Amino acid sequence: MASSLLSITSLSSSPSASVSTEDSFRGRLKLHSSSLSFTKEKINIFSNGKSSGRVSMVVAVNTSRFEGVPMAPADPILGVSEAFKADTNDLKLNLGVGAYRTEELHPYVLEVVKKAENLMLERGENKEYLPIEGLAAFNKATAELLFGADNPVIKEQRVATVQGLSGTGSLRLAAALIERYFPGAKVLISAPTWGNHKNIFNDARVPWSEYRYYDPKTVGLDFEGMIADIEAAPEGSFVLLHGCAHNPTGIDPTPEQWEKIADVIQEKNLIPFFDVAYQGFASGSLDADASSVRLFAARGMEVLIAQSYSKNLGLYSERIGAMNVVCSSADAAARVKSQLKRIARPMYSNPPIHGARIVANVVGDPTLFNEWKAEMEMMAGRIKNVRQKLYDSLSSKDKSGKDWSFVLKQIGMFSFTGLNKAQSDNMTDKWHVYMTKDGRISLAGLSLAKCEYLADAIIDSYHNVN
């Protein structure tokens, strides 16, 4: 292994010093592996007053064993925020990361969250380790929120629920379960999908393929292509579905289309796997946003559902979510839960308690629960207003006759603009609008006051950049 020696020699300034400490206290630095040599007068690092002595240090500088580790590319979503921070232009807009902002574009902590945290302080609750499966009160509340407290799958104890590290961690638990107990099974993922889905299944060594979803010609759902690709999937495959507010397109199937999707999955003996990241935040209704999941459960199908509370309660950094598996029997659910716990143990041992208590307090208290629903309606309403204003601005400013109505047909915090990579680059380079390169923008980072500016940027990029 290549190395170099760095030697430092220091001499005392005492006139009566022996040969080893003679001369004044001086240091000479030599890097023997190169021709560089430095001399520094009167370096007195270790001596104080009249103390004397000679100090010699040799440090080996070795070539790193990690020289073969390449630099990883920047995350395509989180990297947008880093670029945004470096931009000094006053007009800049960060429409990359999906995090709710106020009309003033400030982060928002829900009032109901503050109240729930105050309750925790008043009770003087401790910070002891949770069980591997998480906080029992949270697990009960989150499953009931997803399915409805009176749902047969809840009453018959057919749901295996474990608290996960938000949506990402919950999806990762499920991926490990698939890899271990369904070896070789493929997961079908929509094209496009949330950028981290592929990373999660790759990391768990679960094979995946894509099914058609987005139609660039209509900036809408390619329903026929979606159905055809699901029908062609091998028996036993998992089909990853977005419960509501599809990320990144904002395009959801209609209730009638959901019925058809359920028909095909059931007929082909496939396994539905839902990612529910926006319950209550998409439409403002907890029940409406869970209707797709409840449809599949009502048909007696075994279903996997990952949940997240990052968006609907604004608990982004608390990493609070859950993995639910609906099974055909209570016995099967108990066995699945035991294996999810077994997978979680070597990954992270047990989940964090703070966010779980917030959710349990909010959902478990009727007053706080109603306040939460009102705040969600407010947040969803602000995004709907911004979406409407953006459409109005695009329609009034663009004289080409282009139909921008697809903006209004989308739902949730994201909008697929239909812009390609070059056009998205123009949005950033010329207009200081930061977004992902697939043309997705987060309306949560947009204010009513900025809609006209954004419309100008979109129109210019769409018409003037190929």
Q: What is the pLDDT of residues 224-241, one digit of tens each?
A: 999 999 999 999 999 999
Q: What average pLDDT does this structure show over 80-91?
A: 91
User: What proportion of the chain, given as a percentage, has pLDDT over 90?
Assistant: 83
Q: Both tokens of residue 320? A: 């609070």
pLDDT at 4 over 90: no
Alpha helices in 215-329 (DSSP H): 223-231, 255-267, 286-289, 291-298
CA neighbor of 363 nearest in space, from 286, 254, 265, 252: 286
What is the pairing mode between strands 238-242 and 220-221? Answer: unpaired
Cα distance between residue 141 and residue 356, in whole Å: 10
User: What proportion of the chain, given as a percentage, has pLDDT over 70?
Assistant: 87
Same domain? 382 vs 241? no
Q: What average pLDDT does this structure show over 407-422?
A: 95
More confident residue, 222 or 10: 222
CATH number at residue 309: 3.40.640.10
pLDDT at 189 over 90: yes
Same domain? 215 vs 286? yes
Same domain? 199 vs 265? yes
Query: Which residues, 6 or more positions from 105, have their beta carbon under 8 angstroms from its beta carbon?
Result: 445, 447, 450
pLDDT at 57 over 50: yes
Tell which phi-psi region holds residue 160, choosing left (phi > 0), alpha (psi between -120 and 50) or beta: beta
Kindly indicate the confidence band of residue 187, based on its pLDDT and cuts at 50, 70 and 90: very high
Domain count within the chain: 2
* Domain-embedded: residue 35: no
The residue from 311, 337, 389, 450 that is catalytic is 311
* Domain-embedded: residue 435: yes
Same domain? 280 vs 165? yes
CATH number at residue 442: 3.90.1150.10
The amino acid that residue 19 corresponds to is V
* Domain-embedded: residue 89: yes
Residue 191, number of CB atoms within 10 A of its CB: 15
pLDDT at 89 over 70: yes
What are φ and ψ of residue 21, in 5° steps? -125, 15
Kindly indicate the confidence band of residue 56, based on its pLDDT and cuts at 50, 70 and 90: low
Name the residue with tokens 């005492």: 14
Cα distance between residue 155 and residue 64, in whole Å: 58
Same domain? 170 vs 315? yes
Same domain? 392 vs 307? no
* Domain-embedded: residue 8: no
Q: What is the pLDDT of residue 61?
A: 65
Mean residue pLDDT across the chain? 89
pLDDT at 22 over 80: no
pLDDT at 24 over 70: no
Same domain? 218 vs 337? yes
Q: What is the pLDDT of residues 341-361, one digit of tens each?
A: 999 999 999 999 999 999 999
* Domain-embedded: residue 142: yes
Same domain? 172 vs 302? yes
Based on the residue annotation, tell me whether 365 is a catalytic residue of this protein: no
Same domain? 143 vs 234? yes
Cα distance between residue 249 and residue 245, in whole Å: 8
Same domain? 169 vs 103? no
Based on the residue annotation, tell me whether 186 is a catalytic residue of this protein: no
Same domain? 266 vs 225? yes
Q: What is the pLDDT of residue 27?
A: 42
Contact 426, 396 (CB under 8 A): no
Q: What average pLDDT does this structure show over 84-101?
A: 93
Q: What is the pLDDT of residues 105-151, one digit of tens each?
A: 999 999 999 999 999 999 999 999 999 999 999 999 999 999 999 99
Q: What is the pLDDT of residue 243?
A: 98
* Domain-embedded: residue 68: no
DSSP per-residue string spanning 372-420: HHHHHHHHHHHHHHHHHHHHHHHHHH-TT----THHHH--SSEEE----
Q: What is the pLDDT of residues 278-305, one digit of tens each?
A: 999 999 999 999 999 999 999 999 999 9
Cα distance between residue 70 and residue 67, in whole Å: 8
Task: Report DSSP state, residue 430.
Answer: T
Q: What is the pLDDT of residue 54?
A: 58
Kindly indicate the confidence band of residue 79, based on its pLDDT and cuts at 50, 70 and 90: confident
27 DSSP β-pair partners: 10, 40
* Domain-embedded: residue 7: no
Based on the residue annotation, tell me whether 275 is a catalytic residue of this protein: yes
Residue 50, number of CB atoms within 10 A of its CB: 9
pLDDT at 322 over 50: yes
Cα distance between residue 202 and residue 195, in whole Å: 12
Enclosing domain of residue 104: 76-108+378-464
The residue from 229, 275, 431, 450 that is catalytic is 275
Q: What is the pLDDT of residue 336?
A: 98
pLDDT at 3 over 60: no
pLDDT at 326 over 60: yes
* Domain-embedded: residue 390: yes
Last residue of a domain, one of 308, 339, 364: 364
Q: What is the pLDDT of residue 55?
A: 56
Helix (H, G, I), strand (E, B) or coil at 25: coil
Last residue of a domain, one of 310, 329, 364: 364
Last residue of a domain, one of 330, 364, 398: 364
The residue from 194, 208, 372, 431 that is catalytic is 194
What are φ and ψ of residue 452, in 5° steps? -65, -40
Same domain? 323 vs 433? no
